[in-house]
Amino acid sequence: MVLGVALGVAVVVAVDLANASAGRAFDLSVDAVAGRATHQVVAGPQGLDEAVYAALRRDGEVQLAAPVLEGSAVSPQLGGRTLRLLGIDPFAEPPFRSYLGAEDGLPLDQLVDFLTRPGAVLLSVDLASQYGLEAGAPLTLQVGGYERQAFVAGLLQPADGLSRRALEDILLADIATVQELTGRLGRIDRIDLILPQNGAAEVERIAALLPPGARIDAVAARSGAVREMTVAFRTNLLALSLLALMVGMFLIYNTMTFAVVQRRELFGTLRCLGVTRREIFALVLGEALVVGLLGSASGMLLGVLMGRSAVRLVAQTINDLYFAVSVHSVAVPVISLVKGGLLGVLATVTAAGLPAWEAASVPPRSALSRSLLEAKARRATTRVALGGLLLLALGALILAIPTRSLAVSFGGICAVVLGFALLTPLATRWVMRGAAPPLGRLAGPLGRLAPRGVANSLSRTAIAVAALMVAMAVVIGIQLMISSFRHTVVAWLSYALQADVYIAASEMTGSSPMAPVDPAVLDVVARRSDVAVIDLIRAVNVDSPYGPVYLEAGNSADYGDHLLYLAVDGSPQEAWAAVRDGEAVIVSEPLAHRIDLPRHGGTIQLYTDRGPRTFPVSAIYHDYATPNGAVIMGLDTYRRFWDDAAFTAVALELEAGTDPGAVVQSLRETLPPTQRLVVQPNRALREEALRIFDRTFAITAALQLLATAVAFIGVLSALLSLLLEKRRELGILRSVGLTARQLWRLVMLETGLMGMVAGLLSMPAGWVLALILIYTINLRSFGWTLQFRLEAAPFLQALAIAVAAGLLAGIYPAYRMGRIEVIEALRYER
Amino acid sequence: MSENGFLHLENLSKSYPEGAQQRIVLKDVNASFAPGEFVAVLGKSGSGKSTLLNLVSGIDRPDRGSIWLDGRDLAALDERRRTLFRRRNIGFVFQFLNLIPTLTVEENVTLPLELDGIAVRQARRRAEPLLEAVGLLDRRDAFPDRLSGGEQQRVAIARALVHNPLLALADEPTGNLDEETGRQVLGLLNRLTRQAGKNLILVTHNAEAAGDADRVLYLQDGRLTVRE
């Protein structure tokens, strides 16, 4: 019983910890970068001219301003991980970030190096010691595909734990150094400002001084928008962990009922001796409280341990889908523990409510007999099933409410799942009634005894079956959702990746840096006779009133003809012509969903280098790569509104009959060696995308496994308590001639049947769950419409797992019963 | 084979561990029973009466000695064979909680038949006259704990005889009943076993209950003494 609560609580705590850690890591990285800035001056993908900073300082408009230029770098001397290259002006920094301002800061000679020598970077003492680096050590950096030489100018001593974690993944350098390393001479990404609290007038004054395309934003609003994006993802995880707790609640209910039924005579006697109903109720609830406290305490411990692997999975998914976070350690926020613990205790006490009431209603002396309880349970099955149908209807109604609120949607799911659970007792009875005759023919009297045993102990068996059913339904629902998702993505990839070969400076995944490709590449590919079409793609993140948006600009003649459209003005060709030749854009479904874009005739505003511009939307397309939303526009349009002639990828269509593998091979040999380029055939990119997809769902699979484990323990504990109750009964069976082997078969048949019923019932429930997940939750969370794909495998798998869980759960009880001597069992008095 | 009568106990000994010591319950017990005989075994609580029945039924195994029943030595059979032998040849009535609580009266009675592979319908046909004989035909669909103690024992009697066993064993069958009900149950047990021509061994501490027996044996200090 304690174990069940503990597992349930552990899952909730682990997921909460992982979410909190990822959130904390995000805050830290925002802090590390924004520091104490209140506002930032920002511009498009190419950033600002550094003259803007000089002008602001010169005009005396702002006292506290610091320029920042960011990049990302990978160094073999630093374990090959992606580090943030943060370029700053050390003299403007102190009010913003504290790394340099500490009294025992850098020694003078290191500071001089830092400011004057090219390639000088600073890193934290921890990072340096992790890789055995000292001041003066040379570093080879990969920046935007180019190899650059740098060196460790000095080591930063973080002032406190927070800065230590913030500095874990940062290389600090003078702004001029970063300009050289990234090849962005004369540019800065932004200017951090500290303005007085009611600085509306200052904001306006500064805004007036900025060139077109540059804006001033409040820091809180910017980071909030980014943070918002992961809320849906994290809510989904939390909901999944709550499901495990729900399965745990069935378990607690079952065990508490057992504890009550087992002692009904004691309660009868106690009532006889003058113990009031209320006192008995309190007694049982008190026991539940103790169990809840014990279970929750161990669950919290277990949760912290499990959180360590969960945090890795969550961080990986957020990295893949949203933005780079680095979480290396699990901070244990007290609030997560309190939440989990409280939930566990509450769930236990709630689940014990009904058994406690049952105990309190035992009349004095005349003890509530088992068969009375069973008769009551049998009569109640119809009422309970009606309640289940009502809950299903309620769930459908809740899900039909046109809202974006995930809490409401999960409320609906909860009602549906509970509804199915309430149908379990009646369905179990029916299935057992139906199973008895054929099983009797197959397995003789045992075949009749087993289903009857299950049906006659419905008050206990149905709950174990319900718990297992819920777990299996979740497995089916999520598997169907994931496989539908995967199939949708596979179909979508064939549209999204139309060219045969792609050349880029880095792998083209959601959040990875989008470094430009060396233009010299074009000369090489243009000379090739096996290349039919060369398309350029510029992928950048641009700002919009709705937060950062992934923008892809291309010059393909027919790219848009084959996209998978949700809504399109006219034909796909017409829509694409409007993009290629006009100023129209195509918006991804998640973004359209997020900003409530009408299906036709909508517009979208983006912050361009010429100021905010509104673009007509000619189509909405399905996209599964960028949950925060993507916009596709013509390359000409992009270059008209942004001062950016660079391109991120070159897409090649080959002449018919050319082998892409061979082209890739020869391109790798002939492309300019100055920049490290990734040349991938279509197939490799597709595989890469699917690999990331599978990784994204790793945590979901882990949670599913846990829900199954909880359900398994539920069945095991239900069976153990059931067999304890039936000890004497089995003794009698043995005395009238049931052999040990028959006893074993009887127990296994009963538990196998329970597993089978759970597996069978989980099929419709899982199917409904998948429909809800696909058509409601995914759409509401991420704005993704998936193509539902019904597959037999998840259903068969769930049935197999359920039967296996039932049989496995039966082994130990059967073993124990087989060893009990008949006389001992006969002597056993309840 | 040393057989002397229908049921023959030969040098039967049984002891149980009690703390660090062995408590001897039965010591070199010898007895013979003629076919159709009703034998009562009298003894105080803890004198080993139930142990004797458990040995005779094959539920438990003696430390030493043999139990010859219908030409077979039960003590020499393995657990499975003893179980199968018991299933076909022994009917049991215990002191209390005789019945499977989740099976109806009729299902309890037909259980030994069903375990032996007899079809439900046929099993029901065979149970019906017995249920009628114990006066519970109209309660055949009731669950055991809706019955009084006396009624439960009557169901147990029907079940003990339904498969036409060689031997019926009763362990204090009236121990939990009031005097009047106890008398009725005993009368029924006696009548039905005699009607069927079966052997009945009744163990009890109540001398009055042994009144109808053909023979009374006394169990004292682990030894069985015969008083005709």
User: Inter-chain contact B145–A740, Cβ cutoff 8 Å?
Assistant: no
Angle between helices A200-209 and A50-58 (to 10 degrees): 130
Chosen from B87, B100, B106, B153 to mutate, greatest number of chain A CBs within 10 A = B100
The pLDDT of residue A371? 57
CA distance B228 to chain A (A): 31
CA distance B172 to chain A (A): 14
**A13-22, A273-282, A340-349, A561-570: least confident range:** A13-22
Domains assigned to chain B: 7-227 (3.40.50.300)
Q: What is the rounded CA–CA span in Å between residue A377 and residue A371?
A: 9
A173: left (phi over 0), alpha (psi -120 to 50) or beta: beta
Q: Do A255 and A717 form a contact (C-beta atoms < 8 A)? A: yes
Residue A670, φ and ψ in degrees, nearest 5: -100, -15
User: Inter-chain contact A444–B59, Cβ cutoff 8 Å?
Assistant: no
Whole-number mean pLDDT of chain B? 84
Which of B83, B88, B101 shows the shortest C-beta gap to A739? B83
The pLDDT of residue A634? 92
Q: Do A621 and A563 form a contact (C-beta atoms < 8 A)? A: yes
In the predicted structure, residue A229 carries a pLDDT above the cut 60? no
Terminal-to-terminal C-alpha distance of chain A: 20
b/e per residue, B145-176, with b = 16+ CB within 10 A? ebbebbbbbbbbbbbbbbbebbbbbbbbbbbb
The pLDDT of residue A638? 93
Which of A370, A371, A736 shows the shortest C-beta gap to B111? A736
Q: How many residues does chain B have?
A: 228
User: Inter-chain contact A440–B120, Cβ cutoff 8 Å?
Assistant: yes
CA distance A738 to chain B (A): 7
CA atoms within 13 A on the CB side of A466: 31
Q: What is the rounded CA–CA span in Å between residue A42 and residue A89?
A: 17
What is the arithmetic mean of pLDDT over B139-161? 87
Q: What is the rounded CA–CA span in Å between residue A384 and residue A362?
A: 21
Whole-number mean pLDDT of chain A? 79
Which of B54, B92, B143 shows the shortest C-beta gap to A823? B54
CA distance B102 to chain A (A): 6
- The 10s digit of each residue's pLDDT in A13-65 is 777 777 676 666 666 666 666 667 788 888 877 788 888 888 888 877 677 88
The pLDDT of residue A74? 83
Most confident of A8-12, A134-138, A333-337, B209-213: A134-138
CA distance B33 to chain A (A): 22
Q: Do B153 and B184 form a contact (C-beta atoms < 8 A)? A: no
Q: Do A88 and A189 form a contact (C-beta atoms < 8 A)? A: no
**pLDDT band at B4; cut points 50, 70, 90:** very low
Percentage of chain B exceeding pLDDT 90: 13
The pLDDT of residue A564? 78
**A65-69, A666-670, B223-227: least confident range:** B223-227
**pLDDT band at A408; cut points 50, 70, 90:** confident
User: Inter-chain contact B59–A736, Cβ cutoff 8 Å?
Assistant: no
Q: Which helix (H) or strand (E) holds B91?
A: strand B90-93
**pLDDT band at A397; cut points 50, 70, 90:** very high
- The 10s digit of each residue's pLDDT in A531-563 is 888 899 888 888 888 888 889 898 888 877 777
Q: A-chain residues within 8 Å CB-CB of B170?
A: none
Q: B-chain residues within 8 Å CB-CB of A741?
A: 80
User: Inter-chain contact A739–B99, Cβ cutoff 8 Å?
Assistant: no
The pLDDT of residue A457? 78
User: Inter-chain contact A735–B59, Cβ cutoff 8 Å?
Assistant: yes
Q: Which residue of B has its CA nearest to A828?
A: B97
What is the arithmetic mean of pLDDT over B82-111? 82
Q: Which residue of B has its CA nearest to A736?
A: B87
- Classify residue A561 as exposed, middle or buried by CB count within 10 Å of its CB (0-12, 13-18, 19+): middle
Q: B-chain residues within 8 Å CB-CB of A445?
A: 111, 114-115, 117
**pLDDT band at A439; cut points 50, 70, 90:** confident
The pLDDT of residue A366? 47
In the predicted structure, residue B5 carries a pLDDT above the cut 60? no
Closest CA to A556 of A574, A577, A530: A577
User: Inter-chain contact A452–B94, Cβ cutoff 8 Å?
Assistant: no
Which residues of B fall below an 8 Å CB-CB distance to A? 54, 57, 59-60, 79-80, 83-84, 86-88, 92, 94, 97-103, 107, 111-112, 114-117, 120, 143-146, 159
Q: Which residue of A has its CA nearest to B100?
A: A729
Side chain identity, residue B87? R
Q: What is the rounded CA–CA span in Å between residue A564 and residue A405?
A: 27
Q: What is the rounded CA–CA span in Å between residue B113 and residue A20?
A: 64
Q: What is the rounded CA–CA span in Å between residue B49 and residue B60?
A: 13
Q: Which helix (H) or strand (E) holds B198?
A: none
Q: Do A248 and A7 form a contact (C-beta atoms < 8 A)? A: yes
CA distance A384 to chain B (A): 21
Which residues of A fall below an 8 Å CB-CB distance to B? 369-372, 374-375, 440, 444-445, 448-449, 452-453, 456-457, 728-729, 732-742, 821-823, 826, 829
Is the ipTM of this structure higher than 0.85? Answer: no
Which of A732, A741, A742 shows the shortest C-beta gap to B100? A732
b/e per residue, A756-794, with b = 16+ CB within 10 A? bbbbbbbbebbbbbbbbbbebbbbbbbbbbbebbeeeeb
Q: Which stretches within B73-217 are classed as H helix?
A: 79-89, 105-115, 120-133, 149-162, 179-196
Q: Give one DSSP letter per residue of A629-694, joined into a string.
A: -EEEEEHHHHHHHSS----SEEEEEEPTT--HHHHHHHHHHHS-TTB--EEEEHHHHHHHHHHHHH
Closest CA to A802 of A707, A712, A705, A706: A712
Side chain identity, residue A248? G
Q: Do B14 and B51 form a contact (C-beta atoms < 8 A)? A: yes
- The 10s digit of each residue's pLDDT in A584-638 is 999 988 888 888 889 888 999 998 988 889 999 999 988 777 767 889 999 999 9
Chosen from B77, B82, B97 to mutate, greatest number of chain A CBs within 10 A = B97
Residue A450, φ and ψ in degrees, nearest 5: -65, -55
Q: B-chain residues within 8 Å CB-CB of A453?
A: 102
CA distance B146 to chain A (A): 8
**A79-93, A410-424, A508-522: least confident range:** A508-522
User: Inter-chain contact B60–A452, Cβ cutoff 8 Å?
Assistant: no
Chosen from A432, A733, A736, A742 to mutate, greatest number of chain B CBs within 10 A = A736
Q: Which residue of A has its CA nearest to B56?
A: A735
Q: What is the rounded CA–CA span in Å between residue A777 and residue A240?
A: 12
In the predicted structure, residue A346 carries a pLDDT above the cut 80? yes
Closest CA to A524 of A635, A639, A673: A673
Widest CA span of chain B, in angstroms? Answer: 53
User: Inter-chain contact A733–B100, Cβ cutoff 8 Å?
Assistant: yes
If DSSP codes are grouped into helix, strand and coil, which group holds residue A587? strand
Q: B-chain residues within 8 Å CB-CB of A823?
A: 54, 59-60
Chosen from B77, B78, B83, B147 to mutate, greatest number of chain A CBs within 10 A = B83
Place of tokens 């199973």: A435
Residues 6+ away with beta carbon under 8 Å from A184: A46, A47, A69, A71, A178
